[in-house]
Amino acid sequence: MALDYLRKIPWFRQAEIAPSAEIEAASLRSDRFRLEREVDWQRLERIVTALEKGRPKRITDDDLLDLPVLYRKAASSLAVARETSLDAAAIAYLDALVRRAWFQIYGPRETLTGWLRGFLGGGWSRAVRTIWLDICIALFFMVAGTAVGWLLVSREPDWFYALVPGAMSDGREPGADPEVLRQSLEPTANADGLSVFATYLFSNNTGVAILAFALGFAFGIPTLLLLISNMALLGAMLFVFAEAGLGYEFVAWLSVHGTTELGAILLAGAAGIHVGRSMAFPGQRSVLAAAQNAGVRAAQVMAGATIMLVVAGLLEGFVRQLVGEPSARLAIGGAMLAFWCLYFAGMRRRQDRAA
């Protein structure tokens, strides 16, 4: 009774009708919006579907030329639909269509296999040659760090304990029994557990390389200090074994993985120095632009250094622990060094012939 009475009042009747009228008006706007643009959406969807199915021959020349225009129209329609709060179905359809079209127009056109083939077939070596000056700088500081470690321990043995962590020395210290040092270089009796050992070594070496690269963003100075510090450790250990008359055996023991591992750390450090040097001397560019350009090349070098670290981890965790003859170890290390040198030189000649 009360509701019937209220419905006789004009303002109540208008308020009751208003919501349904607004809904109907919004529906009409959505339908009109869709009808005005639906032909272009359907055309874009047909083109994108053909590309997704790997059937570009089904696309006409006109459709292919109009693809960017249709994509921009669909993106504009999506923006308008969101701004005017059109129906959720239209927004969801346009959102999915724009995403698919973007991937076909601007998305990567190369598979992982193709990228890896291009990277190993010349991209990595080209990036390495581009930062040759930074590699020379990193190599100089690595050699200097090794010499510093040797000289410090040779003049004052207590420096050894400051340079080499106790867990790493494991009895290999100045004045140690030569027989104890020799036994530390002996291979294991079998390969049990070596996979875990290889994984640990890879993780440790990767951490050093990543840190050397990352510190380059502080204008490269921390990277140089890290290279000196790590190589001073090597120089200290080298002196201990050389003093005991085991220098050749230690170098052979180290060379199995060292030529690859130290090469990876050299490249990672050089990549960090390259970024830092570009930021310190940006030239006419801004510091951010210089860092961005250098970072692209440095990232390629770092990706290759990661591959070298994987190889070094396998050599250190398996080959070095199973091969005991110093001459055989030295031959393996020398072969790996020759392989990396020939790889970069060979890739350069191949690119020159292709050009």
Largest Cα–Cα separation, the chain: 113
Place of tokens 């009774």: 1
Q: Does one domain contain both 95 and 123?
A: no
322/317 Cα distance (integer angstroms):
9
Kindly state whether residues 142 and 84 are assigned to the same domain: no
Of 79, 106, 133, the residue at which a domain comes to its end is 106
| Confidence (pLDDT) at 12 | 41
The pLDDT value given to residue 332? 94
In a domain, 123, yes or no: yes
Same domain, 124 and 90: no
The residue out of 106, 130, 153 marking a domain boundary is 106
Residue 4 lies in a domain: no
Smallest CA-to-CA distance from 97 within 115, 77, 80, 82 is with 77
Does residue 137 form part of some domain?
A: yes
Q: Are residues 75 and 136 in the same domain?
A: no
Q: At CB < 8 A and 24+ separation, what contacts does 335-339 make?
A: 336/256, 336/259, 336/260, 336/311, 337/255, 337/259, 337/263
Percentages helix, strand, coil for the chain, rounded to the nearest 5?
Answer: 85, 0, 15
Give the domain-ending residue among 106, 123, 145. Answer: 106
Clarify whether residues 259 and 291 are in a common domain.
yes
CA–CA separation, 334 and 259 (whole Å)? 8
Amino acid at 194: L
CA dist., res. 130 & res. 301, Å (int): 10
Task: Note the pLDDT of residue 16.
Answer: 46
Residues 168, 313, single domain; the answer is yes
The structural domain count of the chain equals 2
Q: Say if 68 falls within a structural domain.
A: yes
Q: Which stretches of the chain drop beneath a pLDDT of 50?
A: 2-3, 5-7, 9, 11-18, 21, 23, 193, 349, 352-355
Do residues 223 and 269 both lie within one domain? yes
CA–CA gap between residue 122 and residue 349 (Å, rounded):
10
CA dihedral sign, ordered 27, 28, 33, 38:
positive
pTM, to two decimals: 0.69
> What does the pLDDT look like over 244-279, one tens digit per residue?
999 999 999 989 988 999 999 999 999 999 999 999
Same domain? 155 vs 288? yes
Does residue 257 lie in a domain region?
yes
CB 251 within 8 A of CB 196: no
Is 142 inside any structural domain? Answer: yes
> Is the residue at 216 inside a domain?
yes
Contacts of 329 (CB under 8 A, 6+ apart): 252, 253, 255, 256, 320, 323
Q: Is 218 found in the same domain as 70?
A: no
- Domain around 89: 18-106
- End-to-end, the C-alpha distance of the chain in Å comes to 93
Whether 181 is covered by a domain: the verdict is: yes
Q: How many CB atoms lie within 10 A of CB 133?
A: 12
The pLDDT value recorded for residue 53 is: 84
